[in-house]
Structure 1
Amino acid sequence: MCRTTTVLRALCKKGDLDRAVDLLERLQNPVPVPVYVSILKACCQHQSLLPAQRLHAHLIHQKLPLSGTLIDHFVLTLARCGAWEDAHVALDSASVFSWTALMSAYADRGLFSEALHVHQKMVEKGIMPNNYTYVALFKACGSIPDLVMGMELHTEALMRGLATDVFACNTLISMYGKCHAAVDAECVFELMSEHTLVSWNAMLAASIEDGKGEKALWIFAQMCHEQVGADQATYVTAIQACTVLAEQEEWTMRLNNKEVALEIGKALHADTSRQDIASSSFVGSTLINMYNKCGAIIDTEHTFSSLVQPNIVAWNTLISAYVEQDQGETALQLFVFLQHEAVVPDQTTYVAVLQACASLAEKEDTFEMSSSSSITLCIGQALHADIITRGFESVAFVGNSLVTMYGKCMAIDEAEHVFCSYQHTTMSWNSMLSVYIEQGLGENALFLYMQMQESIQDERTLVMALLACLTLSEKEEALVIEGQSVKVMSLEIGRTLHAKAQQSGFICDLFVCSALISMYSTCGYMKGADFVFCVMPYRDLPTWNSMLSACVEQNLGAKALWLYKEMLKDGFTPNQRTFVVLLQACTILAETEDTTNQEGFMHKELALLIGQALHADARYFGFTCDVFVGNSLIAMYGKCGSLTNAELVFSSLSQRDIVSWNAMVSALVDLGQEDNAVRLYRLMQKHIVTHITLTRILQACSSTGSLDYCRQLHFEVVSAGYDQNPSLAATLVSAYGGCSSTSDMQMVFFGILEPDLTTWNACIAGHAGDGDFLLSFDVFERINLAGVIVDGVTFIKVISACARTALVPEGLAYFKSMTVDYEILPDMKHHGCLLDLLGRTGDFKRIESFIDRMPVQTDVAFWLGLLGACTRGNLELAERAFENAVNLQPEQSTPYILMSNIYADAGLQECAGG
């Protein structure tokens, strides 16, 4: 028997389990229990289920009871081999060891809810847990994650005295970290009597899970101070802390977090090199990702090159780095090189290269629809074929990436086909929703959202639905309700989604709140945006930026600037986007009709002062080199009339994009520097020129009346393929009208396939400017015949045409038709046009009657227009206009000059001199 026992142990050691069981089955008598345990341990190690089942049959044949350590190891073997039902059956006579083994096996397989269910049955059976039981349960709770259950089990373990050993405490720290309860993790850590390296690593990981990179680096510094020897896992976590820090849009001592993270990351890299672990794929991949997040692509490449044998993880990390750095072509080239090196791509590789394709497709000009976008689609289709060959098409996250790639390539049918071909996760639904939204298919997105089961919807799903609502609102005609332009249908859908957010408990999510604020502001209901913002339990910087953007979208520049002060009071540090939005708010303030505020400043002067203060803030935080902030500064200074400052910002930009050039051209055009704008445009032609550039230069041509140059630009518009662009077409019509070339204007107009209302309005103004009022009226009639809905601007153009030719009855008829037939409420500009019409004919009685019945508040431009009309005679009305103009703007010289001239014409020299 002794010899048989030795042979059995040797066979187990070799892993030859079938021969071991064959030998057992030939024996007449049973062997000692430790030998059976050795065979079961080997079965567990090699995950060999059949030999374990044969051993069980042998035990039954030998009439040996399955109890004690034998049953414990049998249950453990069944669990490790995935024979869950058999393991559960065997549990009836098992000890706490078996129950714990089954829980651990479930947890190791990722079946965490099943592990908790086993614990429930164990409690019902009255079996007392041990410290290993709680370790398995803590691991399960952390992986689900289920903080409430984890805390209950922690309390239970403390009451039983089973939560104080190092092993349990380390698992608790890990559990709390994964549940984003870093404070609880820290409490466990502080109460430990001793800390092992595993304890420190768990605490580092908990800080990373909580997104606290700076805290993790502080813990690492404490480790070094206490001379705790770091291992590979320690350095990997510390490098990940640098990555987290680099991703946070914050500033430390006027330094960008990326710069701080890069310096610390380089120091950690040096440490790993000294310990000869930097070249391992595990550490190397983490370093590559860290350098990428810090924007140090050269260091990323050097680190990859230093790896002796980079594994697929390292390759994937480098490919992803190129994608994140917007170098999609390089990422695809690296994918080809990877295969030449005989490295087999995995699912993550294909996800990364599909993202590269999506990135390249995003760069394409959707208006031009250039052939290169079809090349990107062909590459994506080839990758799709490769994915099918390798059998990855049914993997959800690969399918999601395919959906996104096809969406970016505007291949909606292919995206839908892929979406229908695999098992959907929540992320799959969200990916398809995102495709519809990006392509402006709000209706499709909302229909898909309605098909989703509520159980699989998450916060991002709701954000997508709200974005779909925004897409719908862009196509919806607004109705004027209580003086506000409201998108009624989109608003109702948005309110329904708001109610769902409250029901589902997503209303506290910051992304959901930001999306709700954007939805309400886009739909024209600022009360809703204000309500969401005010009831939020806490806010972050993106939420503040969303609220600032909402104010700007609704032209509430002053409110946005006031909110900025409140934001600073709450201790938030602005980022680039904050300054971009605030500078837009200054622009709105500058474009507001000028009145004098309590401090005696006009709006444009006040906007300039605030803009300069914001410029100083941006300089303090180091954002003036940012191209987006720089572009916004140029635009703001242009609208505030400060050309010198606009030029200084433009010249100081180290990197100028097309928006920078366009902003400078716009500033010159707005400030009457048309010739300089044209000269700058000629310099621009060495760079890229967009339809926005051409629009602004054509506006300059319209102001200067340069017909030859206008025709030259027209040629460039056609050559660039922009002749059917609605905005440019309208500007071309307007430019030719400004140059008094109605023949060219009509040629452009009739060449447009589907002229929009802006183009029709430009055509009316062009004919009116040329003195051909009959053609202006004819165009107005043709707008109606074409089925285009006119707006308030249309009536401004047509009433102005009447004023130019003193056609008072016709002008009054159009004004009445606007309110009665078209239900358009007249604003200050309409009343100004009517005043001009009556003033040109000297009909002062009707003017006085008209002023007394005006339903809108007058501005300084209105009273100056009336003063100008009174030069034809009516001293009393002139004095009334003068008094109102001076009350609104006491420092403006124009009313004084006009009134002086009126007194002089009336022979009242003494009044004129006063």
Structure 2
Amino acid sequence: MRCTDGLRLFRAEGTQLIITYSLGVARTKHLWLRLRHRLFRVLRRDVSTLREEHEYLYNVVSAANVSSQQLRCENLICCSDGEQVLRKFCEVGDVSGAVEALSYFHGPCSQQTYVALLRACSKSKVLEQVRSVQAHLSLSKTSVRGSLGEHLVMAFAKCGAIEEAFQVSSVLPNRSSLSWTSIISAYADRGLIHEAIQVYRCMITDGVEPNNYTFVSLFKACGNSMDLERGKELFVEVKSKGLESDPFVSASLLTMYGQCGAVMEAETTFCEMPDRDIVSWNAMLSAYMRQGQPEMALRLFRQMQEEEFCGNHLTVVITLKACGQLIDKMKDSFKEGMLVNLICTDIAQGLHAYARKIGYESNILVRNILVTVYGKCGAIANAFAAFLSCPTHAVVSWNAMFSAHVRQCLPCTTLQMYKKMHEEGVNPDNLSFLLALQACDILIEEASLSAEGCVQLVQSLHTDLCCTDLGSDVIVGTSLLKLYARCGRMLEAEEVFETLPHRDVVTWTAMLSAYIEQELSSKALQMYEQMQLYEVSPNELTCVLALQACTALIGAEIENNRGNPATFVNLGYILHTDTTIRGFTCDKLVSTALLTMYGTSGFQLEADNVFNRMLQRDTVAWNVMLNAQKENGILLFREMEQEDVTLDDGTIVCLLNSSGRIGSLEATNWLHFAVVCDGCDEMSLVATALMDSYGRCGNMEDVDACFDGLLLWDLVLCCGYMRGYVGRGDAITSMSIMGLMNFAGYKPDDIVCALVLQSCSHAGCPSECLSCYCLMKQDQTVEINLKHYGILLDLFARAGDFKRVTSIIAKMPMQMDEAIWLSVLGACHLHRDVELANLALGHVVCLNLREIPAYVIHSNASTVHSSEYEV
């Protein structure tokens, strides 16, 4: 539109309808809408006199402050019928108005009018409008042939109605390249290369010579379907027809090569082009980008500048994307990544200046990609300046700013901008909510906000989401339930899950992951079963999570000495079968999860079978096998050396655990030497495993040497050091280490206190154990848990102090588990306390009806008591 005042004036003089048409800005559309319904009255012949319409329209124009110069007669277009009016509808893009106006014509229109209508319908791509024009042609008995028929075929093809286009085309006496190319183009838009080629062959058979636009459509079809070989065959035909130098054909060929990943062929085509237009330059830039070669794209842009070729807004957008892609490519390397950030910031600033120079700085695509790239470079100030350069901001611009701040881990600023967007009356879309939820996730990760504060933020976003029509969006809903789960609010997460109308495998998998994260493995397995009842097929990650849940249940059974872990291993067998049926056993993550499950349960043969069938055995898989092998880990390590597997700190920890289990001081010494040579003896996990291994071998001097050689301590290292003395029952040294921790400023936590209690228990020192317990009660920062009570009860029960045992049980703020009651029951058998044995047995039976050892211990205690009574 021109930046001049506009009007559309209809004036009647005698029997002629006089139309003034001038393009304009803001009030053009408003004025057109005011006059539109009056025009329909004229076409329907509902006006008593044309003079009345003239007076009305003159008043409208006067109210629009139209100058007298704009009403000069030379600017008026006259016509003797309403077809001129109908064509004006098409010129201003009011296709629905044109089709409605057509319905008032009871006779045939001229071919020129029908062609104008069909061209307008091709642009709007509304199938019903094309059908309305075709219906009018049929009712008016207008012959559909020649140019009119060709345009009708083109209109149907543009709307995707290929069958109707074929029907019209089949009755045309003479078909030109326009109708054939229109149908080929329709197939190309859908990526149906085989159908497009078939139509092309029919076109040749029909004796119609293809033109440059025909090959443009065919190359487009090849690119959309990634059919490089077919594209090369078509290029041979292009050469035979002498069209290889056509700029449109060359540009489409270049684009096709880029889509198919044939960069060398694209470069050859580009270099052989005699005249390169902006489409060719942009196509070559896009080809480099598709193949992940941002450096080449930037070099090509530099060449473009050296040749003094002026780009357009797409050139700027593609080159800016190359900057962003280069940053993503180098993000894994910290030093190179920092350098690339600085370089790309300079390039982005240069492109920003270039866009300003060629007049595209205000283009919304350029502005948004500028904000995104500045954000990737860490130049938040530049991103903010680019954002503020526009007086109004659409939701796309806000999303670009959100993304820039989230990428730089600035969650608070992101949420403040989200609030500002609401204040400006801009409605968020699904990407806005996703980025706001990511900001909340960063806050939770950084623990920079209290748990309750994070929950309130998530709930606020949830409320905003419910106020829009995006509440049913599966991607946003999945992110929301993940956040609720991270906050520990499983009820809210389940509510979000249940309210989603469409739940895909990603949503189900997210729910499984939430349950596992909250240590609700049983619910996770129920969810796995339920999703299949809803006919949602699990993917590889879903199966991995199900196996992790099963492994967690097996580990809990073994740790707490409850029941038989084989019960859950049987469930693991079922999951293994399920993954085999689905063809997931070749997946590295699934195989590693199976290894972990069988290794945890002690089913070594099954673990070996899975391991031997793995196509790719990485370090993680070897580490899992080392843990599973336990005592044979050193032997497995020899195989690792033969296969030249890269060792990590996890491998060293597994090997040290293995050497500690078998008590091999020689293997531990050799591993210690390897650790020192690799320079990882200062790593917390490795040093802890090393002290644990020496402690299990009984070499406390080397344990002391390892700890004394550390430059820095932390709580984990102190616990590892203490654990070696706990195993020896050295309560004095254990308490000395705790005093050392206090002196160094490390506050003992529940794990340290448990180790001290355990050392006192092993040493048989009830008074020291009780003193430590009293200190824990005085210290409000240490939470006394079931493990602490279990150690106390085990010590006093073995010492025969059942009065104190009964007192502790009565004062415990929590229910005792099965393992503790079994320990008390065993002590009752040792000290022949039948009354307490009956109490312990009752609780064990309530917790686990199948606990056979409990009945045996109770029977032994009762038998001993009866024998003594008889004596």
**TM-score, normalised by the number of residues in structure 2:** 0.69
In structure 1, what is the equivalent of residue 504 of structure 2? 540
In structure 1, what is the equivalent of residue 4 of structure 2? 85
The answer on 1:632 being equivalent to 2:584 is no
> Counterpart of 1:571 in 2: which secondary structure?
coil
In structure 1, what is the equivalent of residue 281 of structure 2? 312
Offset of 1:499 from its aligned partner?
1.8
In structure 1, what is the equivalent of residue 59 of structure 2? none
Query: Pick from 719, 722, 740: which aligns with 1:761?
Result: 719
| Distance 1:688-1:468 versus aligned 2 partners, 3 A rule | farther
The answer on 1:803 being equivalent to 2:761 is yes
Offset of 1:512 from its aligned partner?
2.0
Cα shift readout 1:88-135 (whole Å, capped 9, x = no counterpart): 1576879999898849xx8xxxxxx98865653444775679666776
Distance of 1:899 and 1:640 partners within structure 2: 29
Distance of 2:802 and 2:444 partners within structure 1: 45
Distance of 2:656 and 2:371 partners within structure 1: 41
Offset of 1:468 from its aligned partner?
2.0
The answer on 1:351 being equivalent to 2:313 is no
Cα shift readout 1:804-854 (whole Å, capped 9, x = no counterpart): 223324434444554664266544433322232323423233334444555
> Counterpart of 2:585 in 1: which secondary structure?
coil
Q: Tell me, which stretches of 5 or more residues in structure 2 are unaligned?
A: 44-84, 107-112, 139-148, 163-186, 204-212
Alignment of 1:604-619 (within 5 A): 604-619=565-580
The answer on 1:576 being equivalent to 2:540 is yes
Query: Pick from 441, 446, 461: which aligns with 1:470?
Result: 441
Distance of 1:602 and 1:233 partners within structure 2: 72
The answer on 1:196 being equivalent to 2:153 is yes
| Distance 1:786-1:472 versus aligned 2 partners, 3 A rule | farther
Distance of 1:305 and 1:581 partners within structure 2: 49
Offset of 1:585 from its aligned partner?
2.6
* Preserved contact between residue 485 and residue 518 of structure 2 (Cα < 8 Å): yes
Max Rg structure:
2
| Distance 1:321-1:175 versus aligned 2 partners, 3 A rule | same
In structure 2, what is the equivalent of residue 494 of structure 1? 458
Offset of 1:882 from its aligned partner?
5.9
* Preserved contact between residue 222 and residue 228 of structure 2 (Cα < 8 Å): no
**Of 660-669 and 124-133, the range deviating more from structure 2:** 124-133
Distance of 1:377 and 1:514 partners within structure 2: 33
Distance of 1:765 and 1:792 partners within structure 2: 14
Q: Percent identity?
A: 25
Offset of 1:763 from its aligned partner?
3.8
Distance of 1:640 and 1:185 partners within structure 2: 69
| Distance 1:449-1:852 versus aligned 2 partners, 3 A rule | same
Offset of 1:688 from its aligned partner?
3.8
> Counterpart of 2:331 in 1: which secondary structure?
helix
* Preserved contact between residue 599 and residue 627 of structure 2 (Cα < 8 Å): yes
The answer on 1:792 being equivalent to 2:739 is no
| Distance 1:198-1:766 versus aligned 2 partners, 3 A rule | farther
Query: Pick from 33, 39, 50: which aligns with 1:120?
Result: 33
Alignment of 1:70-219 (within 5 A): 79=1, 83-86=2-5, 88=6, 102=23, 117=30, 119-123=32-36, 196-203=153-160, 216=190
Offset of 1:803 from its aligned partner?
1.6
Query: Pick from 839, 861, 865: which aligns with 2:797?
Result: 839
**Of 333-342 and 844-853, the range deviating more from structure 2:** 333-342
In structure 2, what is the equivalent of residue 648 of structure 1? 609
Distance of 1:191 and 1:555 partners within structure 2: 66
Return the letter of the residue paired with 2:764: A
Return the letter of the residue paired with 1:608: V
In structure 2, what is the equivalent of residue 774 of structure 1? 732
**Of 432-441 and 394-403, the range deviating more from structure 2:** 394-403
Offset of 1:602 from its aligned partner?
5.9
The answer on 1:865 being equivalent to 2:834 is no
* Preserved contact between residue 552 and residue 560 of structure 1 (Cα < 8 Å): yes
Cα shift readout 1:574-593 (whole Å, capped 9, x = no counterpart): 33333333333333333333
Offset of 1:622 from its aligned partner?
3.6
Offset of 1:493 from its aligned partner?
1.7
* Preserved contact between residue 188 and residue 196 of structure 2 (Cα < 8 Å): no
Offset of 1:738 from its aligned partner?
4.6
Cα shift readout 1:699-753 (whole Å, capped 9, x = no counterpart): 4444445556556656666766766665556555555555555565566657777
Query: Pick from 491, 508, 521: which aligns with 1:557?
Result: 521
Distance of 2:503 and 2:135 partners within structure 1: 32
> Counterpart of 1:593 in 2: which secondary structure?
helix
> Counterpart of 2:584 in 1: which secondary structure?
coil
| Distance 1:603-1:415 versus aligned 2 partners, 3 A rule | farther
> Counterpart of 1:474 in 2: which secondary structure?
helix
Distance of 2:659 and 2:530 partners within structure 1: 44
Offset of 1:498 from its aligned partner?
1.6
Offset of 1:662 from its aligned partner?
3.9
**Of 117-126 and 622-631, the range deviating more from structure 2:** 117-126
| Distance 1:269-1:707 versus aligned 2 partners, 3 A rule | farther
| Distance 1:838-1:376 versus aligned 2 partners, 3 A rule | farther
Offset of 1:534 from its aligned partner?
1.3
Count of residues in Structure 1 that have an aligned counterpart in Structure 2: 743
Cα shift readout 1:774-806 (whole Å, capped 9, x = no counterpart): 343344455556665654333322322222223
In structure 2, what is the equivalent of residue 35 of structure 1? none
Distance of 2:863 and 2:611 partners within structure 1: 47
Distance of 2:28 and 2:632 partners within structure 1: 75
Cα shift readout 1:355-378 (whole Å, capped 9, x = no counterpart): 4423333333xxxx5x44445446
Offset of 1:518 from its aligned partner?
0.9
In structure 2, what is the equivalent of residue 332 of structure 1? 295
Offset of 1:550 from its aligned partner?
1.6
Return the letter of the residue paired with 1:321: R
Alignment of 1:281-320 (within 5 A): 283-284=252-253, 287=256, 291=260, 309=273, 311-320=280-289
CA RMSD of aligned residues (A): 5.4
Cα shift readout 1:502-539 (whole Å, capped 9, x = no counterpart): 23444333222112101100000001101111122333
* Preserved contact between residue 172 and residue 188 of structure 1 (Cα < 8 Å): no
Cα shift readout 1:260-300 (whole Å, capped 9, x = no counterpart): xx7xx468657755764998555446645654xxxxx6x67
Offset of 1:382 from its aligned partner?
6.1
Distance of 1:336 and 1:554 partners within structure 2: 51
Query: Pick from 456, 460, 481: which aligns with 2:431?
Result: 460
**Of 900-909 and 313-322, the range deviating more from structure 2:** 900-909
* Preserved contact between residue 355 and residue 405 of structure 1 (Cα < 8 Å): yes
> Counterpart of 1:196 in 2: which secondary structure?
helix
| Distance 1:577-1:855 versus aligned 2 partners, 3 A rule | same
Return the letter of the residue paired with 1:120: L
* Preserved contact between residue 121 and residue 155 of structure 2 (Cα < 8 Å): no
Offset of 1:467 from its aligned partner?
1.8
Q: Tell me, which stretches of 5 or more residues in structure 1 are unaligned?
A: 1-78, 107-112, 141-149, 206-212, 243-261, 292-296, 324-329, 480-486, 910-914
Return the letter of the residue paired with 2:604: L
**Of 523-532 and 651-660, the range deviating more from structure 2:** 651-660
Return the letter of the residue paired with 1:85: T
Distance of 2:385 and 2:742 partners within structure 1: 45
Distance of 1:836 and 1:663 partners within structure 2: 33
| Distance 1:305-1:838 versus aligned 2 partners, 3 A rule | farther
Distance of 1:498 and 1:700 partners within structure 2: 49
**TM-score, normalised by the number of residues in structure 1:** 0.66
Distance of 2:748 and 2:18 partners within structure 1: 81
* Preserved contact between residue 304 and residue 318 of structure 1 (Cα < 8 Å): no
Cα shift readout 1:849-892 (whole Å, capped 9, x = no counterpart): 44455554444433443344446333534566567657766777
| Distance 1:643-1:870 versus aligned 2 partners, 3 A rule | same
